[in-house]
Structure 1
Amino acid sequence: MVQHSRFVFLAAPMPESKDGDEGEGILWMLVSPNNRPLGRGTTYHATYGACRQSVLDLQANYERAKPVETTVDLTGQWTWRIDLDGEPVAVSSRSYLRARECTYNLERFLEAVPSAQVIAGTRSVRRGRRRASVAEPPPGRELRNAG
């Protein structure tokens, strides 16, 4: 059986809002066949259905996606993001010491998007556990909340 990259959905605590509330939202992550994170969505969604639809929209409009590579001012490390119609829709799951590492990992993400499987259901991620870091924005980035 051939393994494929896949979109998984994470139910995770959202960053605190301005009024101090910390709710839970759904965020997608694209993982490689060997479970290595390739990238993730920029937006927390209120429902699994809305988050799943954002993945389907990315796959359907893949040809219009614009990759952007940049450095984090604080660390000088490299990150990437994907913009669709001027809005960021995906970001790197981590930062990179070298531009070529960033470019390589961006290319792996872009190769995987069109044919990646969309997995049903969500996985719960809690802060304080090691895996919770996948829901944290990379340094210098903030995630948007969406309904």
Structure 2
Amino acid sequence: MGQTRFLIVTRPARGGTDGAGAPRTVWRLLGANNRELGRCLTDFPDQESCRQAVTFLCENIERANPLIMRAQPATLWVWRLEVDEVPLALSARAYRRQRECLYNLALFRAAVLNTDTTKVLPHLVRTTLRNRVELAAQ
């Protein structure tokens, strides 16, 4: 079985039908079983700024304030971590029970503490079918 690790992914921009816009880079924390434990709240302009955010999260995880809140529909629960009122991480999914949400928050925090940030997975770039066709035509 593997170890927990951060995954950094750059995705094509969402938006208009012409595909215009800048790509966005995000991080996710994956568990040993490849299940997503948590993710960033914001998009980053490039891989380096995303890596810096991962490092900041790891350095400040112990002083991060957890927020447990209801999601839509109001029967589900999500967690969020903030440092100095700046949101850093969000639960990967919503939970049916508050205790499940709290448990998974604890798992995320423990995973961040035990993850070697020097082993961030290689940067992946996701493309759309349209981008693949344009690249193939070149």
- Would you call these one fold, judging by a TM-score over 0.5? yes
C-alpha separation between the residues in 1 aligned to 2:32 and 2:4? 5
For the Cα contact (< 8 Å) 2:5–2:121, is it kept in 1?
no
Offset at residue 101 of structure 1 (A): 1.3
Offset at residue 116 of structure 1 (A): 1.0
Say which is worse superposed, 8-17 or 86-95, in terms of deviation. 8-17
**What's the counterpart of residue 123 of structure 2?**
122
Which letter maps to 1:97? R
Structure 2 residue 36 is the aligned partner of structure 1 residue 37: yes
For the Cα contact (< 8 Å) 1:10–1:123, is it kept in 2?
yes
Which letter maps to 1:95? A
Listed one character per residue, the Cα deviations across residues 27-72 of structure 1 (whole Å, up to 9, x for unaligned) are: 0000101101000011111111110010001111122101111001
Q: Which structure shows the bigger proportion of residues in helix conformation?
A: 2
Structure 2 residue 45 is the aligned partner of structure 1 residue 46: yes
Higher gyration radius (CA) = 2
State the aligned residue count: 125
Offset at residue 127 of structure 1 (A): 6.7
C-alpha separation between the residues in 2 aligned to 1:21 and 1:59? 34
| TM, length-normalised to structure 1 | 0.75
Listed one character per residue, the Cα deviations across residues 124-146 of structure 1 (whole Å, up to 9, x for unaligned) are: 33579xxxxxxxxxxxxxxxxxx
Structure 1 unaligned spans of 5+? 129-147
Map 1:63-78 → 2, pairs under 5 A: 63-78=62-77
C-alpha separation between the residues in 2 aligned to 1:9 and 1:67? 23
**What's the counterpart of residue 27 of structure 2?**
28
Higher relative contact order (CA 8 A, sep 6+): 1
Q: Indicate the SS of the match to 1:83.
A: strand
**What's the counterpart of residue 109 of structure 2?**
110
C-alpha separation between the residues in 2 aligned to 1:98 and 1:120? 32
| TM, length-normalised to structure 2 | 0.79
Offset at residue 24 of structure 1 (A): 1.2
**What's the counterpart of residue 131 of structure 1?**
none
Structure 2 unaligned spans of 5+? 130-138
